[in-house]
Structure 1
Amino acid sequence: MSVSKSLFENLGGTAGITAIVDDVVEAHMNNPAISARFLPYKDQPERLAVIKKHTVDFFSAGSGGPVTYTGRDMPTAHKEMNITSAEYQHTVDDIMYVLNKHNIDEQSQVNVQAILSSLKDSIVGK
């Protein structure tokens, strides 16, 4: 009997998720629809490193990895940002593009898409 891998493992574990997060942030900074939200962090490398670490930990913990997420919950983390549905969709599109670029299997992409869909209401309009 074969044991199926967790989403965490399918995303490449901590190293894979870290590489994905790095590429996603770069994609966001290059996406004209949302770059204004991300480009200011280029001048705040320490803050950007913290955001990336929290994002890696969040996705690692949420995908079955041996990680405990200690950051803020999604509504608190996005409070007063007034993120629109269109902006959220652009972030999702960037993430899915990066997963494809990293040759993440189709079922794992579907699983990530489901996770992102489940987070939308706790991020948009907060």
Structure 2
Amino acid sequence: MGGSKKVEEIVENFVVEIERDPVILAYFDGADINRFIDKLSEQICHRTGGPCEYSGDTMEQVHGGMNITEADFNRTVDLLINAMNKADVPHPLQNKVLRVLAPTRDEMLYL
């Protein structure tokens, strides 16, 4: 993937993408953005085979009550793709990242 620096770059780019999208930004109202950055970095590192352990809450705990729609979930995936593009992550590697994150979809939607 490119190590922890690359993961951090992707997550920082992702936060900027979220900040520019009023629909998705609304889901982060009152969120601790620094914690979000730390835990998402851990999760990406862990799920892509890095040495990190994810120490955050379950996806159900984090997203419960948010009523995330499939359209908004897909929109967020697009923002993550934009973030990876800006970090110069090659498309085949992007597909691998998305594949390992895809199982979290059902843990986030309509809770």
Calculate the TM-score normalised by the size of structure 1: 0.81
The amino acid of 1:124's aligned partner reads: L
User: Structure 2 CA distance, aligned partners of 1:83 and 1:14?
Assistant: 29
Q: Is the 8 A contact 2:7 2:45 kept in 1?
A: yes
* Ranges in structure 1 where 5+ consecutive residues have no aligned partner: 1-9, 42-46
The amino acid of 1:104's aligned partner reads: V
The CA deviation at 1:116 is: 3.2
- Per the alignment, residue 30 of structure 1 pairs with 20
Alignment: residue pair count: 111
The CA deviation at 1:118 is: 1.9
- Per the alignment, residue 107 of structure 2 pairs with 122
Aligned-pair Cα RMSD in Å: 1.4
3-state SS of the aligned residue for 1:64? coil
The CA deviation at 1:70 is: 0.9
Calculate the TM-score normalised by the size of structure 2: 0.91
User: Structure 2 CA distance, aligned partners of 1:81 and 1:88?
Assistant: 11
Work out which of the residue numbers 33, 38, 46 in structure 2 matches 1:48.
Answer: 33
The CA deviation at 1:39 is: 5.4
Q: Which has the larger radius of gyration?
A: 1
The CA deviation at 1:113 is: 2.0
3-state SS of the aligned residue for 2:66? coil
Given the superposition, is the C-alpha separation of residues 25 and 106 from structure 1 closer, same or farther in structure 2, using an over 3 Å criterion? same
- Per the alignment, residue 96 of structure 1 pairs with 81
Structure scoring higher RCO (CA < 8 A, sep ≥ 6) equals 2
Given the superposition, is the C-alpha separation of residues 97 and 124 from structure 1 closer, same or farther in structure 2, using an over 3 Å criterion? same
The CA deviation at 1:40 is: 4.4
Once superposed, which parts of structure 1, at least 4 consecutive aligned residues long, lie more than 3 Å away? none
List per-residue Cα deviations over 1:78-101 (Å, max 9, x = no partner).
Answer: 111111111101110000111112
Q: Is the 8 A contact 2:48 2:100 kept in 1?
A: no
- Per the alignment, residue 93 of structure 2 pairs with 108
Q: Is the 8 A contact 1:29 1:39 kept in 2?
A: no
Q: Is the 8 A contact 1:92 1:116 kept in 2?
A: no
- Per the alignment, residue 7 of structure 1 pairs with none
Percentage of matched positions with identical amino acids: 27
